[in-house]
Amino acid sequence: MRHEIIDASQLELNDKVVSIKRVTKTTKGGRNMRFTALVVVGDGQGHVGAGLGKAVEIPEAIKKGKEDAMKHLVSVALDENNSIEHDFIGEYGSASVLLKRAPEGTGVIAGGPARIVCDLAGIKNIRTKSLGSNNKQNVVLATISGLSKVMSPATVAAKRGKSADTVRA
């Protein structure tokens, strides 16, 4: 994933818990129970991140997950319709998420984990399809990976040394 350093302290971030899992470790003294929380944070303006927190108590796991997500924020290139600039397939592990550009009025057509990521990123019009693994953590990370790799025409033009108008055509 392409990571540019984003200062989370200057953004107004909302967070959403995607999943909470109870994990048990059996020792000779009995069973130790802990919790892992998958949390997604975003500002609704094109910044989104996901993190995993682990702790003995659920609120502590959520807090740690939120802190981890703030460290892994990525930028998303949005167009004038609050959609992505072009179609892309995001991959993480064996999970793949197809991200398709959509016109104004389409809304967010996405399954659970991908929908949360798109909502918190500020995307209003998109179509997605989860392919491969449906593990929530991998689907979230595949969606974020895909969104971070979508490039605006200006970025592509700068890389190729051309004007943005010639790249769009």
In whole numbers, what is the pLDDT of the chain averaged over residues? 90
- Alpha carbons 154 and 151: distance in angstroms, whole number: 8
Mean pLDDT score, 4-23: 84
Return the closest-CA partner of residue 16 out of 55, 43, 34.
43
Q: Write the secondary structure of 4-45 as one string of H (helix), E (strand) and C (coil).
A: CCCCHHHCCCEEEEEEEEEEEEEECCEEEEEEEEEEEEECCC
Estimate to the nearest angstrom the gap between the alpha carbon of 167 and the chain centroid: 27
Q: Does the structure show a pLDDT above 50 at 1? A: no
Q: Does the structure show a pLDDT above 60 at 169? A: no
For each of the domains in the chain, give its residue range(s) and CATH number, in order of start: 8-74 (3.30.160.20), 76-151 (3.30.230.10)
pLDDT tens figures, 23-65: 999 999 999 999 999 999 999 898 999 999 999 999 999 999 9
CB 123 within 8 A of CB 80: no
Give the least confident one: 2-11, 20-29, 128-137: 2-11
